Amino acid sequence: MSKISQQLLSGTSKAAGAPAALALEDGAVFYGTACAAAGEAFGEICFNTSLEGYLEVATDPSYAGQIITMTYPQIGNYGVNPEDAQSAAPALRGLVVRDMCTTPSNWRSKLSLHEFLRQHNVVAIEGVDTRALVRHVRDHGAQRAIISTLDLSKESLLAKVRASESLVGQNLAATVSCSKPFTHGIVDLPESHAFAQAPAPAPRFKVVAYDCGVKRSILDGLVRAGCDVTCVPWDTPAERVLQQAPDGVFLSNGPGDPEAVEGTYSQVEKLLGKVPVFGICLGHQMMCKAAGADIEKLKFGHRGGNHPVMNLRTRRVEITAQNHGFGLLFPSLGPLVPELSGGFKGHEDDLRFWVRAGIAPVVQNERFGRIQLTHVNLNDGTAEGIAFLDIPAFSVQYHPEANPGPTDAHYLFTAFARLMEGREDYLDIDIAADRLAGWKFGAEGACEEACNA
């Protein structure tokens, strides 16, 4: 910490933390101060561009094995309410912020973020130039990293991080999945969210969800779409799932390398065509792997609440919440069907070609017939969603539950319900009409109820 920073800090109520360091395997080192638990943490460095939702990010099981850098400069200013957590405990390895707020102010706050992290033994560092760090990761790619409050030697830190285990090849989904089945229904919805969300409808569908690291808000979203959910471990045999006679199967988000989660995608291959299936994030990759597709590791991934995605079927653009470091290589699903792809016969590496052409292309997959590209990332032209045309199944790479993030993609829960109803137009939904479904904002008395809570 600089002398000027020390002088400024001495005039506030915030105590100075112990020295800490962050080292990346390519030799970059950043210094700051500890702002949570003491110790050392190893993981893959990544960054999230969300302006809020730090608790939801910290407790998202998809971050298992990773050190998260928050790009917004001050984190923790509205505190922590445990009912907003996405899992029982944080799964991330460490947290990097520019400034950690230790005196939060919010009517729902129960404790500060740094206290929450300390309770769960999460190592965090503040005072880092996060703009410089994010630029470095963006230019040089995701890589192994270490946060330490015990060792500040550059040489020692680099030796440790270069000897640490890579995220690639690890089955991290197995580390965050449930150990036995459990149910999630109306009684499990957070009571403290009632000021903003309308009561859930009575369940109409019986859904089995593969828990590869599922977020609580995703299960809540399924319940609010009329589903009674039973979660099962990541490697549950397909035969056992089908014995429950579900109306649909949901494939959850999750962490790590999809190639290593063979225990899930081998079962998904047996489920496709037998029951309606909806997958998100890692669940999307599991469906792609079941169809024989190739998955690539992205340079630095997509993480944040501001990623623009176009639905090629409706031509509507969604601002989406994302958290993944791997993605589908759409051409690997099969050759194009020209008569269903605007007459085009050759694949394009940048899928924004199809955005400009106004076409949702279709390939012929050797395992499951015709598969349509439905969603494309407008930032980098990568695949964000597919729909199987000959069986009832679809998936997206991003998150529809908006915790944290925008509600543009809420319609995907509605789409899953429509798929289980057997509707062919299940994805053709006006997101402008659906994005606030179930919310009480603007309803008479909603503001007064919130203020009096």
Catalytic residues: 281, 399, 401
Q: Give the DSSP per-residue string, 236-248.
A: --HHHHHTT--SE
- CA-to-CA distance for 73 and 242, rounded, in angstroms? 48
Residue 15 DSSP code: P
Binding residues: 62, 254, 256, 282, 285, 323, 325-326
Q: Is the C-alpha dihedral spanning 282, 283, 284, 290 positive or negative?
A: positive
Residue 56 CB-half CA count within 13 A: 24
User: Which two three-digit tokens encode residue 342?
Assistant: 């605007």
- Dihedral in degrees, nearest 10, Cα atoms 208, 368, 334, 337: -120
Helices 411-420 and 216-224, axial angle in degrees (round to 10): 60
Longest dimension (CA), the chain: 70
Q: Nearest Cα to 309, choosing from 263, 373, 247, 362?
A: 373
* 11 three-class SS: coil
- CA-to-CA distance for 362 and 342, rounded, in angstroms? 10
Burial class (CB in 10 A: 0-12, 13-18, 19+), 38: middle
Q: Give the DSSP per-residue string, 314-367.
A: TTEEEEEEEEEEEEEEGGGG--B-GGGTTT--S--SSTHHHHHHT---EEEETT
Query: 31 Cβ partners below 8 Å, 6+ apart?
Result: 19, 20, 21, 22, 127, 128, 152
* 149 three-class SS: coil
Residue count of the chain: 453
Exposure class string for 379-390: b at 16+ Cβ within 10 A, else e: eebbbbbbbbbe
- Beta bridge mates, 298: none
Binding residues for L-glutamine: 62, 254, 256, 282, 285, 323, 325-326
